[in-house]
Amino acid sequence: MLKLFSLKNQQKDGTSTASSSSVQRKASAAQLRVTKDINELSLPPTCKTEFPDPDDLLNFKLIISPDEGFYKYGQFHFSFKVGHEYPHEAPKVKCETLVYHPNIDLEGNICLNILREDWKPVLTINSIIYGLQYLFLEPNPDDPLNKEAASVLSSNRQVFAQNVHKSLRGGYVGSTYFPRCMK
């Protein structure tokens, strides 16, 4: 799978070469920190990560499959782009699944405080994943990106639930078509 500790193990074994030492010296603070964060991930069973390029830990995917709440049985894909200023700046996270959600707009932008104004360097990738998962368990109509969905959630939870189910199965909610995203 991921060879996160290959350099460390080579050094312990005494098999480190000049080229692998130079690779180690070139690792940025962001790469070192994201490697540590990924090694310490404790994902719930409803989440999984994918690394399209195992050598590039700064760009990866997250799949959340809620097992309760409005979004139960849905499958939502997120892209993570960790910048070179990490952990001093939050990663850029986008929802790649078109979803009817008060805190995720139709372009995939996410309203999660720790991705913006409340980010602190002590937070980790794990913190973000749990924050995203919580958005599916408890959507927040008081801080919306999708104002229409937030308005419906605030005024009529039953209609909101019907709209979410329509969107998960693949169908129109208002004039927007949502492709099926049920697992």
Return the active site residues.
111
Residue 103 and residue 149: Cα distance in Å, rounded? 9
Pairing of strands 92-95, 59-64: unpaired
As a residue count, the chain comes to 183
| Secondary element (H or E) of residue 158 | helix 157-169
Q: CA 136 → CA 26, 109, 125, 140, 141, distances in Å?
A: 38, 15, 17, 9, 12
Which residues are paired to 64 by β-bridges? 47, 76
Residue 71 and residue 109: Cα distance in Å, rounded? 18
Instruction: Give one DSSP letter per residue of 93-137, joined into a string.
Output: EEE-S---BTTB-TT--B--GGGTTT--TT--HHHHHHHHHHHHH
